[in-house]
Amino acid sequence: MINSKIISGDKVLWGVLALIALFSFLPVFSSSSNLVYVVGNGTPVGYLLKHFVILLIGFLLMIGVHRIPYNYFKGISILMLPLVIILLIYTASQGTIISGANASRWLKIPLIGVSFQTSALASLVLMIYVAHFLSKNDKMSFKEYLLPFWVPILLILFLILPSSLSSALILFSMVIMGCFIGGYSFKYLSIILISFFLFFLLFVSLAKSFPDLIPNRVDTWISRIESFNSSSDLGSESYQVERAKIAIASGYIFGLGAGKSVMKNFLPQSSSDFIYAIIVEEYGSIGGIILIILYLLLLFRIIVITHKAESTFGKLLTICVGIPIIFQAFINIGVALEIFPVTGQTLPMISSGGTSAWMTCISFGIILSVSSYYSNERIKIRNQDNNPLHILSETI
């Protein structure tokens, strides 16, 4: 039996996260054969061990973070906000290439050989900051919100936007969701939405007029949208989506069996962006539906923890760091099913890769910190109510 001193909080959430993480080894090991073929080095076992180390570090981070009282994250977000802005500026100035892709959103960690995506850290810190600010400043005017609240948000969004449109749009959507749930004025939200839309149009116009400043990004966005709207072959995005659809169709109800995917050899992102297609091919519609149910169960536990939290900050914190993970999961699934254009979003706790898994684990650590705090408070109250001296004092 697991020592309650090591982990605490919502046990169902712990169980579902562990189940998803354990399952992830099967599709990652299967699809890693394609990585070995494409990259030309390593072995499937090597990629499996790398995935194990990444998840092990992630769960250690989750255990460590969930022991921190959740109120401490208010100060942590304030201290981290300038740091992530500096990291985003530094990352954007690199202009490096990794595996032939625009890698201006990545920083290389030399000691462990893992590329770190600074936008993922910035997104998490920003959502914590949004929860903190909304929990204590619900009566401020738009002008009072502008400098301490919206300026950092828009600055981070505009630093992420050139290298990853999907990440910036998802983050912006989650900020708007947090503001809406937090009771922010709908009139002020309308002003922000219109301002962001106008700035985005200006950004696209400048990028098209001066292509050397941000090479290929706008063209990539347009290509992905055109590939999504057209059945003709317009590039690698259309190629990947078509292969993903073939993989899903090949799975039928019960799938081809573990490790027997054929399309993993033709999908360049079979272990990350399109891993859901490989899962359905190998485990069928049954496997795909069960995975969706697990993510919905995570969403349900997030809602339960939000309901149990008594402070406004606890409720907003759980929503602001939890909902983006579920949203990202269904974006990834939607891309494989051709519901959304190709976005480059990974499947949380399943896809191979370090940054996404670590940020997901830290996010759930924060949620479990909220759950742990209120679970411990209820235990204290229950013990106090059962204490004979307390009963006697109440009687007197």
The tens digit of pLDDT for each residue in 288-304 reads 999 999 999 999 999 99
Written in H, E and C, the secondary structure of 354-385 is HHHHHHHHHHHHHHHHHHHHHHHHHHHHHHHH
Question: Whole-model pTM above 0.85?
Answer: yes
Query: What is the per-residue pLDDT across 134-163, written as a single tens digit (0 to 9) for each?
Result: 998 767 778 888 889 999 999 999 888 887
Residue 140: how many CA atoms within 13 Å on its side-chain side?
Answer: 17
78-92, 216-230, 231-245: which range is least confident on average? 216-230
| pLDDT on residue 215 | 54
Q: Domains of the chain: which residue ranges?
A: 11-375
| pLDDT tens-place string over residues 176-203 | 999 999 888 888 899 999 988 888 888 7
Distance CA 379, CA 360 (A): 28
Whether the predicted pLDDT of 115 surpasses 80: no
Q: Per-residue confidence at 98, pLDDT binned at 50, 70, 90?
A: very low
d(CA 253, CA 239): 24
- The alpha-helical segments, DSSP class H, found in 309-353 are 312-336
User: Which tokens sit at 26?
Assistant: 């099967």
CB proximity list for 285: less than 8 A, separation 6 or greater: 251, 252, 253
To the nearest whole percent, how much of the chain has pLDDT over 70? 79
More confident residue, 243 or 4: 243
The per-residue pLDDT for 129 is: 96
Residue of 31, 61, 34 lying closest to 365 (CA atoms): 61
pLDDT level of residue 385 (50, 70, 90 thresholds): low
Mean pLDDT of 81-93: 89
pLDDT at 392: 36
**Residue 311 and residue 20: Cα distance in Å, rounded?**
30
Read off the pLDDT of each residue in 13-40 and give the average, rounded to a whole number: 85
Tens digit of each residue's pLDDT (9 = 90 or more) over 322-358? 999 999 999 999 998 888 888 878 899 998 877 889 9
Q: Is the pLDDT of residue 306 over 70?
A: yes
